[in-house]
Amino acid sequence: MGAQTGPGRIPRGQRAGKDSASHDALVIRLTILAVLVGLICVVALVALSAATNIATTATVGITAVAAIVTAVTGVAASYLRRRR
C-alpha cells in the first residue's frame, strides 16, 4: 500500500523545515566555524606554551583540538556525502 497523499498529507521530503539546500549550507557553515575555533585554540595553546614553557600541555592540547576538528569535519563530510 502506498503513502497516503490526501488533502491533509504532505509527501515526504516536502515538509516545512526540510529544505536540504539550507540545511547543507548550515552544516558547511558550522564545519567552517569548528575549524576556525580549532585554529584559534591551537594558536592560543602555542602562545601559552611559549609564555609558560610547558611544552607537554601544549602538545596534548593541540592534539586534542586537532582530533576534535578532524572528527567534526569527518562527520560533516560523511553527512553531506550521504545526502547527495
Residue 71 is part of which domain span?
35-83
pLDDT given for residue 11 in this prediction: 58
**How far apart are the C-alpha atoms of 53 and 40, rounded to whole Å?**
19
pTM for the structure as a whole? 0.57
Give per-residue pLDDT as tens, 7-60.
666 555 555 555 677 778 888 888 888 888 888 887 887 787 777 777 677 777
Q: Using alpha carbons only, what angle is made at residue 25 by residues 22 and 26, rounded to the nearest 5 degrees?
A: 90
Number of domains present in the structure of the chain = 1
Q: Is residue 60 one of the residues assigned to a domain?
A: yes
Q: Is residue 70 one of the residues assigned to a domain?
A: yes
Tell whether the torsion through CA atoms of 61, 67, 70 and 76 is positive or negative. negative
